Amino acid sequence: MFAVLRDLIRYNIEFAIGLVLVGIVVVFASLSFFAPVDPSLIYMTIPDQPPSPQFWFGTNSRGQDMFWQLSAAFRNSLVFGITVAVLSRIISITVGLLSGYVGGWVDRVLMFINDIFVAVPIFPVLVLFYFVLRNNLDSLTLALIMACFGWPFDARLIRSVALGLKHREFTRHATFAGMSTRKILLEEHLPYVMPIVFSTFMNNMLWSIGLEVTLAVLGFTNINNPTIGTVLYWANSHSAMVVGVWWWIVIPVILIVMTFLGLFLLAISMNEYIDPRSRLRRMGA
C-alpha cells in the first residue's frame, strides 16, 4: 500500500495535487472540533462582517462566524460522503464478486436487481423520501438511502473482473484445496479488485456530496444541520450577493471547487494506476 502511494506521488503530478487539495480541506474540516461555539447556533456574533483579522472568513447575516461554520459544514459533508462511499462499496463488492464467481441463477438474479437500481431515477426518489420523512431525514438516514443507489454501476465493473478471476489457475488451486466460496472471494479475489474499489470510492464521494449539495440548496434536507449545501441554501435565502455579503457565497464555492477538484484528480490518478500500460508510461518504462 505504501509502495503504491509512493509511486503515485512520485510519478503522477495529478495525484500529488489532488492529495494536497484534499489534505487542506480535511485539515480545515478537522478544525471544527476546536470551534469555540456550536456552529449551528445563530446570532452569536455581529452579522455581515467582511473578512478581517478578527473574522477570517467574515460573518453571515445569521450572526455566524463563517470560518467555524464552514469548517463544521465541510466536516459533516466529508463524513457524509465517506459514509455513502463505504456502505455502497460493501454492497458493490458483495454483489460483484458473488455474481462473477458463483454465476448461474445467482448471477442472473443479482444482475436483474442491479439493472433495476440502474434504471431508477435517483433524484426524484430522494425528493420523495424527503416529503415522506420530513424532519426525520437526517444526514445518516440520507446517507443510508443514497448508499442503496450508489452501488450498481461499480458492482458490474467488479463482476467483470471476477468473471476473469474465476478461470485463473490460482482459483482452481484454491477450489481443489477445499477453500470455501467466502474464503476464495475474500482472500483470493478481493485483493485484485481493491484498486477499482479505491478509485470508485473517490467517484462515489464526488457523486454523493454533489447530490447532497443539490438537495440542500433546494431545501430538501435538514437545513439546520451545517453542510456545504445548507450554507449555500441560507446564503441564497438571505440574497447574499444582492445585499453585498459576497463572502457568504464566494468562500464556500472556492472550498467546494478545491474539494471536488482534489477528489476528481485522486480518482483519475487511481484509474490510470490500475491500467499497467498507463502506469509504466508514467514511470518512463
User: Using one digit for the tens of pLDDT, what is the confidence trace for 60-119?
Assistant: 888 888 999 999 999 999 999 999 999 999 999 999 988 888 888 888 999 999 999 988
Q: Give the integer Cα–Cα distance in Å for 80 and 93.
A: 20
Three-state DSSP state, 65? strand
Give the pLDDT of residue 16. 86
The confidence score (pLDDT) of residue 139 equals 85
* Confidence (pTM): 0.87
- Within 13 Å, how many C-alpha atoms sit on residue 71's CB side? 19
Query: Is 280 a residue whose pLDDT tops 60?
Result: no
> What is the pLDDT, as a whole number, of residue 277?
60
Helix, strand, or coil (residue 125): helix
The half-sphere exposure of 45 on its side-chain side, counting CA atoms within 13 A, is: 19
For residue 240, pLDDT beyond 90: no
* Structural domains counted in the chain: 1
CATH assignment of the domain containing 28: 1.10.3720.10
pLDDT tier at 137, thresholds 50, 70, 90: confident
Question: What's the domain range around 163?
Answer: 2-283
